[in-house]
């Protein structure tokens, strides 16, 4: 398949990095995490719901099952950015061997549900002790939202007003691999529960060749290590091969926000200010969706052929210049800024909800 050829090229670029993202600080963080694993009551493994398999925390996978009593809970974060039906399938699959919950770290009710699961698991592990203390280790690869989750849990779970000024918050960064130290945060009382937030650790090697491109697209690998245009091309092959674009056929003049995400909009006297330079504005997003719908639906080539798929992607980049209000007369390279804008819209859910990892076929597993 042509889309697979694009993925293989990006995968080769990722392999060519030879794990360049795995520096000394990640190696030290992994050692620290391994040291603490036997000392905590529960492990929350945070994964990206768009790539539930590719975003698995390899140090846990290599270590094998934690304990037969099920001391691990897999948290599929960013569920609001994934395909809901695929998330349900992934949860059903994972619940065959561990606890699993899908969350949106920016949704209060979602975090409450996670906190209830943590409380329930700690009580069960502590055999019903009401005044016990439980420790939870939060682990995952970079950019899956661990710090956002612990902050939300801390905000909801803290009880007394006297605690508010004493309990610190985790620092949330948009850049993968920024959390350097293991820090503790109290998230509940009765029982007292403390969560240890750990740095993101991305192993230098992946379980399969498909993981690299998918992790690059979701932002787990630092963008500075790869050509953003290559990642954006991979993104467009995903968009071109899915049915999401059909939802944009009847965009109205007021814009469309059906695919989720929050535009960065300034308000004055109840009206939206339109900034041409801000690609997250609703009218820019609407124009981008229109371009993608029109180019895909009018394309009469064979997307199964690599040269035909590349022709469509090239056409889309040309058309997107106008949608993003990028001057075609500028001598400056426009490919990089356009790629960054396109990737940002995908990563914030403005281009739809795509799950990139397929749920394994249980029947094949049994046969194997």
Contact call for residues 275 and 282 (beta carbons, < 8 A): no
Q: Are residues 70 and 87 in the same domain?
A: yes
Please, what sign has the CA dihedral across residues 63, 65, 69, 71? positive
| Residue 166 half-sphere exposure toward CB, CA atoms < 13 A | 8
pLDDT number for residue 130: 66
Residue 67 in domain: yes
- Per cent of the chain over pLDDT 70 is 80
Chosen domain end from 203, 226, 258: 203
Q: Are residues 294 and 211 in the same domain?
A: yes
Q: Are residues 118 and 77 in the same domain?
A: yes
**Lowest mean pLDDT across 61-70, 73-82, 83-92, 122-131:** 61-70
Q: Which residue has the higher pLDDT, 181 or 368?
A: 181
Q: Are residues 174 and 86 in the same domain?
A: yes
Residue 320 in domain: yes
Q: Are residues 78 and 180 in the same domain?
A: yes
Hey, what are 355's tokens?
A: 């799950």
Distances (CA, A) of 29 to 22, 45, 112, 353: 10, 15, 29, 32
- Taking Cα atoms as reference points, which of 201, 230, 204 lies closest to residue 217? 230
Domain CATH for 122: 3.40.50.300
The answer, yes or no, to whether residue 262 has pLDDT greater than 70, is no
Report d(CA 12, CA 16) in Å as an integer.
Answer: 6
Tell me how many domains the chain contains.
2
User: Could you identify the residue written with the tokens 């697979």?
Assistant: 4
The answer, yes or no, to whether residue 265 has pLDDT greater than 50, is no
Q: Are residues 149 and 167 in the same domain?
A: yes
Q: Which residue has the higher pLDDT, 157 or 83?
A: 83
Q: Are residues 5 and 40 in the same domain?
A: no
Residue 258 in domain: no
- Taking Cα atoms as reference points, which of 269, 238, 241, 249 lies closest to residue 345? 238
Q: Are residues 199 and 212 in the same domain?
A: no
State residue 240 phi and psi, 5-degree precision: -70, -25
pLDDT number for residue 3: 85
pLDDT digits (tens, 9 = 90+) for 6-65: 999 999 999 999 999 998 989 999 999 999 999 999 999 999 999 999 999 988 876 554
Where b means 16+ CB within 10 Å and e means fewer, 70-96 reads: ebbbbbbbbbbbbbeebbeebbebbee
Q: Are residues 115 and 37 in the same domain?
A: yes
Residue 267 in domain: no
Q: Which residue has the higher pLDDT, 290 or 181?
A: 290
The answer, yes or no, to whether residue 296 has pLDDT greater than 90, is yes
Q: Are residues 7 and 75 in the same domain?
A: no
For the entire predicted model, the pTM comes to 0.86
Q: What angle do CA 222, 228, 232 make, to 5 degrees?
A: 120
Report how far Cα 180 is from the mean position of its chain's Cα atoms: 20
Residue 257 in domain: no
242: containing domain: 1-20+207-250+279-367
Q: Are residues 72 and 211 in the same domain?
A: no
Report d(CA 172, CA 151) in Å as an integer.
Answer: 9
Residue 79 in domain: yes
Residue 272 in domain: no
Query: For residue 271, what are the contacts with CB-CB under 8 A and spacing of at least 6?
Result: none
Q: Are residues 291 and 363 in the same domain?
A: yes
The answer, yes or no, to whether residue 160 has pLDDT greater than 80, is no
**Lowest mean pLDDT across 31-40, 126-135, 270-279, 325-334:** 270-279
Mean pLDDT, residues 195-204:
93
- Taking Cα atoms as reference points, which of 177, 169, 157, 192 lies closest to residue 22? 177
Residue 2 in domain: yes
């Amino acid at each position: 398949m042509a889309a697979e050829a694009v993925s293989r090229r990006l995968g080769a670029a990722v392999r060519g990095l030879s794990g360049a993202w795995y520096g000394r600080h990640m190696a030290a963080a992994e050692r620290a995490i391994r040291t603490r694993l036997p000392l905590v009551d529960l492990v929350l493994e945070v994964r990206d719901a768009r790539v539930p398999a590719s975003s698995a925390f390899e140090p846990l996978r290599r270590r094998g099952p934690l304990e037969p009593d099920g001391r691990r809970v897999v948290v599929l974060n960013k569920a609001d950015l994934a395909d809901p039906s695929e998330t349900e399938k992934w949860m059903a699959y994972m619940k065959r061997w561990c606890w699993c919950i899908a969350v949106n770290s920016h949704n209060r009710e979602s975090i409450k549900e996670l906190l209830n699961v943590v409380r329930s698991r700690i009580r069960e592990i502590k055999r019903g002790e009401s005044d016990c203390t439980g420790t939870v280790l939060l682990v995952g690869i970079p950019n899956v939202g661990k710090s956002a989750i612990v902050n939300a849990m801390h905000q909801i779970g803290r009880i007394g007003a006297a605690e508010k000024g004493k309990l610190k918050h985790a620092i949330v960064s948009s850049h993968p691999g920024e959390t350097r130290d293991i820090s503790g945060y109290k998230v509940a009382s009765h029982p007292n529960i403390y969560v240890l937030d750990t740095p993101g650790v991305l192993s230098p090697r992946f379980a399969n060749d498909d993981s690299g491109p998918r992790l690059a697209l979701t932002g787990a690998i630092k963008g500075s290590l790869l050509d953003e245009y290559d990642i954006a091309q991979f993104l467009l092959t995903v968009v071109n091969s899915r049915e999401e674009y059909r939802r944009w056929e009847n965009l109205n003049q007021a814009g469309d926000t059906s695919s989720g995400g929050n535009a960065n909009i300034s308000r004055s006297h109840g009206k939206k200010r339109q900034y041409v330079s801000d690609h997250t504005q609703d009218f820019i997003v609407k124009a981008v969706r229109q371009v993608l719908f029109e180019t895909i639906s009018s394309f009469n080539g064979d997307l199964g052929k690599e040269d035909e798929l590349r022709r469509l992607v090239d056409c889309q980049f040309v058309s997107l210049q106008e949608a993003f209000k990028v001057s075609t007369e500028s001598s400056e390279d426009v490919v990089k800024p356009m790629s960054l804008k396109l990737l940002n819209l995908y990563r914030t859910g403005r281009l739809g909800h795509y799950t990139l990892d397929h749920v394994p076929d249980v029947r094949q597993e049994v046969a194997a």
